[in-house]
Amino acid sequence: MDGRNGKSDIYVYDLSTHKEIQITNSESSKEFPAIYENKIVWEDSFNGSSNIYMCNISGDESEIKIPVANFSSNVTEDHAPLSVKFTDLSENATGWNWNFGDRTNSTKRNPIHTYSLAGKYTVRLTANNNENGTDIKTSEIKVQSAPRETPCGFNLLILGIIMFYLFRKST
């Protein structure tokens, strides 16, 4: 609020155009809001002090699109080494930061990550939209130790012993 003309006028400085705009004049009533382009300004008294409020209004602007983090994976549990394909299902995101829980990260939208060691890993996706914030979603991947493989010859030996036993039993 400025009294430079001997009147209590309200001015707004537009940072994008570097121009000062007079919103009200001495004829403006404090009981009704003043409107200038897409700005509405009003004065109100609360607890004995006078406060000035301003709000930008426009029907042309699209609604604010806050990001909502979401993702899926092709597998959530298996043996090491485990290759997992992560698919971003986030809404309104323009950037992605993946933390795979094993001290590795990615900024790809749909990364593929391989877990080499057994363990439980908390995967965290931070989806962001530079204009409207961030959101986080987590999920767990369980990696089991690699299964022990039985040598092929050992299986044939066991099969042979069983067949020999059954042949002797039948005679």
User: Is residue 54 scored above 90 in pLDDT?
Assistant: no
Domain segments of the chain as ranges: 11-56, 71-144
> Burial, 99: exposed, middle or buried (Cβ in 10 Å; 0-12, 13-18, 19+)?
middle
CATH superfamily, domain 71-144, is Immunoglobulins (2.60.40.10)
| pLDDT per position as a tens digit, 60-102 | 556 678 899 999 999 999 999 999 999 999 999 999 999 999 9
What's the mean per-residue pLDDT of the chain? 81
| pTM: predicted TM-score of the whole model, two decimal places | 0.54
Phi first, then psi: what are they for 159, rounded to 5°?
Answer: -60, -40
